[in-house]
Structure 1
Amino acid sequence: MAPAISDHELIRNCIARYCIGVDLKDWNTFSSAFLDNGKVDFPGPGGLVEGVTAITATVQGMVGNLQTQHALTTQLIEVTGEKTASATTYCTTEIFGVGEDKGKRVTSWGLYQDKLVKGNFDGGDDWKIAERIATLAAPLMGDLSLLSK
């Protein structure tokens, strides 16, 4: 018998799917973090994006051919109801250039404020992000020319 997994652990895994999906460019893993009608409010020109297909396309456009590595750190998860939760997660993202931009790097510090919903997804109970607000916690550091390509 498989060990029971707590709601907190399922929520942590959901939030991690976003990061791992981006870093590995595994867009199925990435999109599995969101409800079909999920929303993300990105900082800057990204703005509010609605629907998992649009969210995925937006992030694909943001990362392009760049390599990324997300590191999730401080986190507070609050289960607010039988099927609802909120989470605040700090994230440091390293963005690396490739090809002619190899050696260039940008560091981003931010936080994700998520509203999550529990449901039966793909045959089992799990959590998905219904709404995310992504916020920069500090100015970007590094070679910002990397982001203008």
Structure 2
Amino acid sequence: MDSCERRISEFWDRELIRDCLYRYCRGIDRADEAMLRSACWPGGTDDHGAYKGTTDGFIDWAMQTLPQIERGIHQLHNILIELRGDEAAVESYFTALQRQPGGEGGLVELVMHGRYVDRFEKRGDEWRVADRLVVFDWVEQRPAPDESEAERFAHRKSVGRPWPDDPVYRVFGAGRQ
């Protein structure tokens, strides 16, 4: 492979890794189990702080936890990728906003900033997370406003929903990877 072909291949690998990270975020925010599973290799590890175990176990845990979260938004920022053959070290900065039940009753809003520190593996032509460590750099928790969704969103429509009711699935279709 000449230098130009190698650079194009590396660029493509980086793009596939970014796409996988974005699938993970949609999977979490839309409670889309198939999308989540498409981002992680079975049998890998995941340390989210509140959960530590296998990637399969994390997804099972998340699918039980996500219905309790009224609203969730995960955004990615800086993404650093170090390719190492069929593996990659990836650090992705994130912001996560969640409105969910608090420990003492009532709803709270969590604002979390941190990094996903991932080891990706390429199997065939596909990159997925093999091992993940979530590093929290900033967390804020505050009581959620008492307003209902109708009051909070007022005329702002469409409003995000879990899978399969979110408007994105009308655009992307039922096939989710």
**TM-score normalised to structure 1 length:** 0.78
The aligned counterpart of 2:45 is 39
Report the identity percentage.
25
**CA distance 1:20–1:86, shift in 2 (3 Å):** same
Q: Contact between 1:109 and 1:140, CA under 8 Å: does it hold in 2?
A: no
**Structure 2 CA distance for aligned equivalents of residues 7 and 142 of structure 1:** 40
Cα deviation for residue 119 of structure 1 reads 1.2
**Structure 2 CA distance for aligned equivalents of residues 139 and 10 of structure 1:** 30
Matched position secondary structure for 1:116: strand
2:126 pairs with 1:126: yes
Give unpaired runs (5+ residues) of structure 2: 1-8, 145-177
- If you compute each CA radius of gyration, which structure gives the higher value, 1 or 2? 2
Q: Contact between 1:109 and 1:137, CA under 8 Å: does it hold in 2?
A: yes
Name the structure with the higher strand share. Answer: 1
**Structure 2 CA distance for aligned equivalents of residues 143 and 49 of structure 1:** 30
The count of corresponding residues between Structure 1 and Structure 2 is 131
**Structure 2 CA distance for aligned equivalents of residues 86 and 142 of structure 1:** 34
Q: Contact between 1:111 and 1:134, CA under 8 Å: does it hold in 2?
A: yes
1:122-147 Cα distance to aligned partner (Å, 9 max, x none): xxx11011100001111333239xxx
The aligned counterpart of 2:21 is 15
Moved more, 26-35 or 55-64: 55-64
Q: Contact between 1:95 and 1:107, CA under 8 Å: does it hold in 2?
A: yes
**Structure 2 CA distance for aligned equivalents of residues 142 and 109 of structure 1:** 15
**Structure 2 CA distance for aligned equivalents of residues 61 and 49 of structure 1:** 15
Moved more, 89-98 or 105-114: 89-98
**Structure 2 CA distance for aligned equivalents of residues 140 and 31 of structure 1:** 29
**Structure 1 CA distance for aligned equivalents of residues 55 and 31 of structure 2:** 19
Q: Contact between 1:23 and 1:68, CA under 8 Å: does it hold in 2?
A: yes
**CA distance 1:55–1:13, shift in 2 (3 Å):** same
The aligned counterpart of 2:140 is 140
Moved more, 106-115 or 132-141: 132-141
Amino acid at match of 1:87: V
**Structure 2 CA distance for aligned equivalents of residues 58 and 42 of structure 1:** 11
2:115 pairs with 1:111: yes
The aligned counterpart of 1:71 is 75
Cα deviation for residue 59 of structure 1 reads 1.7
1:21-74 Cα distance to aligned partner (Å, 9 max, x none): 01011110011111111110112x42x21142x111122233333121001001
The aligned counterpart of 2:63 is 60
Moved more, 133-142 or 8-17: 133-142
Give unpaired runs (5+ residues) of structure 1: 145-149
